[in-house]
């Protein structure tokens, strides 16, 4: 595989409208070369006999069973509300049309 050159990095920087210094061009050229090499290695590993998967491990349901537990009454929940109506929080209308 060919290495990424400073000129290629400078060209990409111009296209991206990035102002890079001389030392940054060398630094990014080395980094981009490493990234492209890593991607090439990953592509080599992908084989035709391996089925595609979305997760490495099987997913399991993490939900808990619904249980009735003590909670606030509507009056307690609305006690600190600035405005309430029909056991609901009243908020300013944000849309002009009727729902």
The vertex-81 CA angle with 80 and 83, nearest 5°, equals 140
For residue 26, what are its two tokens? 């060398």
Q: List the chain domain ranges.
A: 6-45
DSSP 5: P
Q: CB under 8 Å to 97, separation ≥6 — which residues?
A: none
Rounded Cα–Cα distance for residues 7 and 48 (Å): 37
Answer yes or no: are the C-beta atoms of 42 and 10 closer than 8 Å.
Answer: no
Second-level CATH architecture of 6-45? Orthogonal Bundle (1.10)
> Whole-structure pTM over 0.85, yes or no?
no
* Chunked mean pLDDT (size 10), the chain, 99 residues: 83 94 92 89 75 79 88 92 92 77
């Amino acid at each position: 595989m060919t290495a990424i050159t400073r000129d290629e990095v400078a060209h990409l920087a111009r296209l991206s409208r990035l102002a890079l210094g001389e030392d940054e061009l060398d630094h990014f050229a080395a980094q981009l070369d490493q990234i492209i090499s890593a991607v090439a290695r990953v592509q080599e590993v992908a084989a035709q006999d391996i089925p595609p998967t979305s997760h490495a491990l099987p997913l399991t349901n993490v939900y808990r069973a619904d249980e009735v537990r003590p909670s606030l009454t509507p009056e307690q929940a609305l006690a600190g509300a600035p405005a309430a109506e029909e056991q609901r929080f009243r908020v300013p209308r944000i849309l002009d049309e009727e729902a």
